[in-house]
Amino acid sequence: MTDLPIEKLRQICLALTEVTERLSHGEATWFVGGRMSFVTTADHHHDDRVAFWCAAEDGVQEALVATAPERFFRPPYLGHRGWLGVWLDVPQDWDEIAALVADAYRSVAPTRLAAVLDSPARGLG
C-alpha cells in the first residue's frame, strides 16, 4: 500500500488552523492547538489494513458504519467514545473525508478556532 492516502489525509488535516502533527502511540496524529487530538492514523493495530480514526459527533459513527461498513468501522480503544474508523485501503470519497476531518476538528477545537473554520473567508461556512 502506498503512503498516498496518508499524505492526502495529512494535507487535509494540516490545512486547518493551529493543527500540528506528531506521533502518538506510534501513529501519525493531528492535534488542535497542540493538545487535543482529532485524527490519528491506524495502520499498526493488529492487522494489515490502513485506516484513520477521527472524533465524531453523537450518532455519526453508528450511521456511517450501518450504511457503509466496507468504508467505516467502530475503532478499538476510542469507538466507545463515538470516534469513527475510516478504511483508506478501499475507494473513498476524499471530499467526504475532508468533511469528516473538518467535523472532527470542530468537535474538539476551541470555539474561536471552530469559528475560523466556519467563516465565509474559508469557504466552508
Domain that holds residue 21: 1-67+99-110
From 52-56, 86-90, 91-95, 119-123, the region with the lowest mean pLDDT: 119-123
Does any domain span residue 84? no
Q: Which three cell numbers stand for residue 125?
A: 461556512
Domain membership of residue 38 (yes or no) is yes
Query: How many domains does the chain divide into?
Result: 1
Output the pTM of the full model: 0.86
**Tens digits of per-residue pLDDT, 69-100?**
999 999 987 777 889 999 999 999 999 999 99
